[in-house]
Amino acid sequence: MTRPGRPAAAERFEVAVPEEVLEDLRRRLQRTRWPEDPGNHDWRYGTNRAWLEELVAYWLDGYDWRVHEASMNRFDHYRVHLDGVPIHYLHRPGVGPDPMPLVLTHGWPWTFWDFGELVDALADPASHGGDPADAFEVVVPSLPGYGFSTPLTRTGVTVRVTAALWVRLMSEVLGHRRFGAHGGDWGASVSAQLGHEFPEHLVGVHLSLPVLMKVSYYSGLSATDYGPGEDGWFDRMQRRMATAASHVAVQSQDPQTLAYALQDSPVGLASWLLERRRLWSDHQGDVFDALSRDFLLTGVMLYWVTGSIGSTMRYYWENWRQPTRLVHDQTPSIEVPTAIAVFPNDLVFVPRRLAEEHTNLARWTEMPRGGHFAAAEEPDLVVDDLRAFFRPLRGR
């Protein structure tokens, strides 16, 4: 529940990385100590060295952080401290007769900037070929310990803690009694938690990764659970989820051990983050067909310049130690109107039948293309689906 009392005060924030941080980065990139990489043309051993060397060359001589920093600063940014947790968020007021508050939550190795291409289209639909009646007031926080929501010195911050913080952010800081939520990856878990634990605050929940609260896609599903039109979904999920095994194992067990290496080496950091971007996006072998070089490097930069890789990995450790998030045993566990967008190259696929059982399913969209990073890969599809889902819920 939202806590009573005086609202927390947010302070304006500008994305402004000191020049000495960029100079240090350049020196580190130039002095990279490269490992040998025989027989890895197909990435069977992990990140391919030739691919990474080419990207680092572009990072040094073609990529301009200041261009992307200026793009971020087109929007208003704020920081607020809630219960000892620093929260950074982007805020874009809506342009329309009655904009609906909407919080967008990212995952790992995402950043808040995964939603960069959605913000204006959601906030000002008339300027993007849409109906002004579909306008949203868009709020994009960085998860605790991610990006500019740092430094996180408090331990024990989980999905459930994050959902409660988002309620405080939206209600106490921004003054909204009710709002909508969307998310993918960890952001889908946070959004589902909001719909489960705080239904009085939620207009609806839109998920690009299906989180059903009572159904585990690690051990709670079998091929027989899937119905007509869902042939092969279970096997596809097994193949896709196998690509997530390594980072989940490390980050849920001893994240601090790896943090020392990734905090010290920008190339090591890029390798760890971008292998996942390549594995989980929708393309035929060239990740740049799904996500641009500049977008990928900007994501890495947001981890590097904030020194946040350690606290982002600890988010796994904390959630694996406190996995129980149910606060009631009602059915459905998510009682607010729920939308699930199914992207064909995501990691998780659940049967529609179970989604109807465990959520108040109001919209189910099987997308023609897109992977795990739906908002960044296919922003137009996500925008259209968000508008369509929330349109009948406005004014409730």
**pLDDT tens for each residue of 68-106:** 999 999 999 999 999 999 999 999 999 999 999 999 999
If DSSP codes are grouped into helix, strand and coil, which group holds residue 373?
coil
Dig out the tokens for 138 from the structure.
């868009």
Residue 179, SS3? strand
**What are the tokens at 61?**
């001589």
pLDDT in tens, 346-362: 999 999 999 999 999 99
pLDDT on residue 3 = 38
pLDDT of residue 333: 97
Neighbours of 99 (CB within 10 A): 22
**Cβ(213)–Cβ(335) below 8 Å:** no
Positions in the chain short of pLDDT 50? 1-6
Residue carrying the six token digits 């969307």: 182
**Cα–Cα distance measured from residue 245 to residue 327, given in angstroms and rounded to the nearest whole number:** 28
Residue 101: alpha-carbon gap to chain centroid? 18
- Residue 3 to residues 6, 7, 294, Cα–Cα distance (Å): 9, 9, 41
- Residue 324 has what pLDDT? 83
Phi then psi for residue 336, to 5 deg, are -80, 155
Pairing of strands 136-141, 85-92: antiparallel
The pLDDT value recorded for residue 2 is 35
Neighbours of 235 (CB within 10 A): 12
d(CA 386, CA 92): 16
pLDDT for 7 equals: 57
Q: Which amino acid is it at 150?
A: T
Dist. CA 343–CA 360, nearest whole Å:
20
Kindly list the strands in the beta sheet with 359-366, ordered across the sheet, starting from the edge strand earlier in the chain: 11-13, 76-82, 85-92, 136-141, 100-105, 179-183, 202-207, 334-342, 359-366
Sign of the Cα torsion 18, 21, 27, 30 reads: negative
Residue type, 229: G
Which ranges of the chain does DSSP label H, i.e. alpha helix? Answer: 19-30, 49-61, 65-72, 119-123, 159-168, 186-197, 233-242, 245-253, 255-264, 266-280, 293-304, 309-321, 352-358, 374-377, 379-390
What is the pLDDT, as a whole number, of residue 220?
81
Q: Tokens in use for 27?
A: 């020196």
CA 4 to chain centre: 29
Q: Output the pLDDT for position 323.
A: 85
Distances (CA, A) of 21 to 13, 32, 129, 378: 18, 17, 40, 32
Pairing state between β 11-13 and 202-207: unpaired
| Structural domains present in the chain | 11-33+41-393 (3.40.50.1820)
pLDDT given for residue 166 in this prediction: 98
DSSP helix/strand/coil, 89: strand
Do the Cβ atoms of 149 and 142 come closer than 8 Å?
yes
Q: What is the pTM of this model?
A: 0.97
